Amino acid sequence: MIGRRLHVPLVSKSSDQAADRFGWLAHFVGVDCPASSKLTEEKLRWQPKQPGIIADLERGTYFATEQTTHAGHSHR
């Protein structure tokens, strides 16, 4: 979704190709590390009120143009 919104072409890479391209960073980018707010919700009685990350990204506000983002602000 991020590549599509930023009009950046995406390609698939094998683990070896990623390691050749990104070196030590490839390991961290390739780690599958799911996360959940369940423990926080239980311990702190917290209930999320905002959209999840995918829904939030789909709204498009992170990908607004510079002109749209700074509309009404003076840069003088």
Q: Which tens digit of pLDDT belongs to each residue from 34-57?
A: 888 899 999 999 998 888 888 888
Q: What is the number of structural domains in the chain?
A: 1
In a domain, 17, yes or no: no
Q: Domain span at residue 46? A: 1-7+35-76
CB half-sphere exposure, 60, CA atoms < 13 A: 5
In a domain, 19, yes or no: no
Q: Buried b / exposed e across 15-41, counting CB within 10 Å, b at 16+?
A: eeebeeeeeeebeeeeeeeeeeeeeee
Tell whether the model's pLDDT for residue 66 goes beyond 80: no
Average pLDDT of every residue of the chain: 82
Residue 51, SS3 per DSSP: coil
List all residues 6 or more positions away from 40 whose beta carbon is below 8 Å from its beta carbon: 46
pLDDT at 23: 94
What is the spatial distance between Cα 76 and Cα 74, in angstroms, rounded to a whole number? 6
Of the pLDDT bands very low, low, confident and very high (cuts 50, 70, 90), residue 7 is confident
In a domain, 23, yes or no: no
In a domain, 54, yes or no: yes
Tell whether the model's pLDDT for residue 65 goes beyond 70: no
